[in-house]
Amino acid sequence: MPRLPRSQASSSGSRSHTLFKEAQRWIPGGVNSPVRGWSRLGGKPPVIQRGEGPCIIDVDGKHYIDYVLSWGPLLHGHAHPKVVRAVQDAAQHGLSFGAPTGAETTIAKLLCTALPSMEQVRMVNSGTEATMSALRLARAATGRDLIIKCEGCYHGHADHLLVAAGSGAATFGHPDSAGVPAAFAEKTLVVPYNDAAAMEAVLTRHHDQVAAIIIEPVAGNMGFVQPLDGYLQALRKLATTHGCLLIFDEVMTGFRTAWGGHQVRCRVRPDLTCLGKVIGGGLPAAAYGGKRSVMRLLAPQGPCYQAGTLSGNPLSVAAGLANLRLAAGKDFYARQERRLQRLVDGLCLRAQRHNVPFQAGVMGTMWGFFFAEAQVRDFTSAAAAHVERWKAFMEVMVARGIYLAPSPFEAAFWSSVHKKEHIDTTLMAADEAFAAAAQV
């Protein structure tokens, strides 16, 4: 096999390169969300022209098999005809009314039926809004101020959630971003993921002050990290004992690891759940919901205010409904997981052949990997993974047309339109990529 040049996706002189340089002049960093800047891979992302099923095509005409899928929403790949048609049909009848529509009730009913813990749900426009609003509601419901999150979990960019510092014993959080007032960050306590004892210690220390525990039931924002057996169940018990709400942030896992969300799979009922990504099918939509006794505190019924000009707009709801209905078949998630498992098994086998320490996992249509010797279970072990090896691996994968997240601390995704041929192509590229990683 010819050796590949270990070059950037968009070498100088390419249209991607020219367009991205222009973008950098007018948009901070050239991107509307930081992860798109490929800063860990040389800062020269391909500029995308269009998507087609499991592939994206850049402005230079290069095809990639896409395992990012817009960071999760595209459960059935790009421009799925049924999703596109649903949006076109909705658009013909008006883009937004700011008034009740029947479709909003249709999606609310679908979500509440799919998630046993959800009796009522409110639509918002982004995952950030969903978590921010759920926490306000938890504070309203408990009359308490503190929240607990896990180190390495991402819950959107609301001020009091941009806190991930502190390790081991919980310390009062330090902001992770400039511009977050210390007074906000102080309300957020941080504990390691997968450590129920640490959670209990913090709850005990701040007895009667904690409004909510917020957690990704499967972590996807420090790389792909699965909950240990019994961990989520333990959190449920602790929240009940200490009178705080348990919030599952299923913005990523919702309708990804299982129909409904991961709570269906692990059989834990949170008090509130946040959804996003898949439920919008590629358009801006997210939601939060839970027990009626808590949701009734929201305006206009109750004293907790939350609103949105475009919330539940017809296009997002149509795209979301179409995306969800395509996954409603019996066995959809089990079938996808079996197919995805073949890809991940193939990767592990090739890593082994090249003697590259590699950890990979699958949960429904979500997956991920680390260049690490042992199982990753929290932020500390994730951060210890071999980034240089990941880089060498990624440079070959990208050159070979395999599009994975441009950061070693992100999950990967799978869609129902990825087929055996895409797995085969990916594994061929991976063989070469592991060979490169083995040199590091």
Ligand X SMILES: *Cc1c(COP(=O)(O)O)cnc(C)c1O
Site for ligand X in 206-225 (CB under 6 A): 216, 220-221
Identify which range of 22-30, 55-63, 153-161, 313-321 contacts ligand X by CB under 6 A: 153-161
Residue 36 CB, nearest distance to ligand X (Å)?
Answer: 12
- Which 277-336 positions form the footprint of ligand X (CB under 6 A)? 286
One residue of 20, 64, 67, 154 binding ligand X per CB under 6 A? 154
Given the complex with ligand X, which of 212 and 430 has the nearer CB atom? Answer: 212
> Cα–Cα distance between 218 and 298 in angstroms, integer?
28
Among 46, 51, 53, 127, binds ligand X (CB under 6 A): 127
Give the CB-nearest residue to ligand X. 127
Q: Which is nearer to ligand X, 9 or 121 (CB)?
A: 121
Q: Provide, rounded to whole angstroms, the least separation between the CB of residue 126 and ligand X.
A: 4
Among 148-156, 325-333, 365-373, 379-387, the segment contacting ligand X (CB under 6 A) = 148-156
Distance of alpha carbon 411 from alpha carbon 390, whole angstroms? 14
* 252 lines the binding site for ligand X (CB under 6 A): yes
Question: By the 8 A CB rule, do 375 and 359 touch?
Answer: yes
Nearer to ligand X, 36 or 354 (CB): 36
Contact with ligand X (CB under 6 A) among 46, 152, 156, 346: 156
Contact window for ligand X (CB under 6 A) among 35-43, 104-112, 248-256, 303-311:
248-256
Question: CB-wise, 401 or 408, nearer to ligand X?
Answer: 408
152 belongs to the binding site for ligand X (CB under 6 A): no
Size of site (CB under 6 A) for ligand X:
15
**184: burial class by Cβ within 10 Å (0-12, 13-18, 19+)?**
middle
Active site residue 249: yes
What one-letter code names the amino acid at 64? Answer: Y
Is-catalytic flag, 154?
yes
Nearer to ligand X, 250 or 395 (CB): 250
Considering the candidates 64, 67, 154, 231, report the single residue annotated as catalytic. 154
- Write down the catalytic residue from 277, 288, 391, 431: 277
Residue closer to ligand X (CB basis): 117 or 221: 221
| Binding of ligand X by 251 (CB under 6 A) | yes
CB-based contact 139:302 (threshold 8 Å): no
- Please tell me whether residue 155 binds ligand X under the rule CB under 6 A: yes
Q: Which is nearer to ligand X, 73 or 346 (CB)?
A: 73
Q: Out of 249, 337, 395, 431, point to the residue binding ligand X (CB under 6 A).
A: 249
Q: Which of 53, 173, 276, 346 binds ligand X (CB under 6 A)?
A: 276
Q: Indicate which residue of 66, 195, 249, 378 is catalytic.
A: 249
Catalytic residue positions? 154, 249, 277
**Residue ranges binding ligand X (CB under 6 A):** 126-128, 131, 154-156, 216, 220-221, 249, 251-252, 276, 286
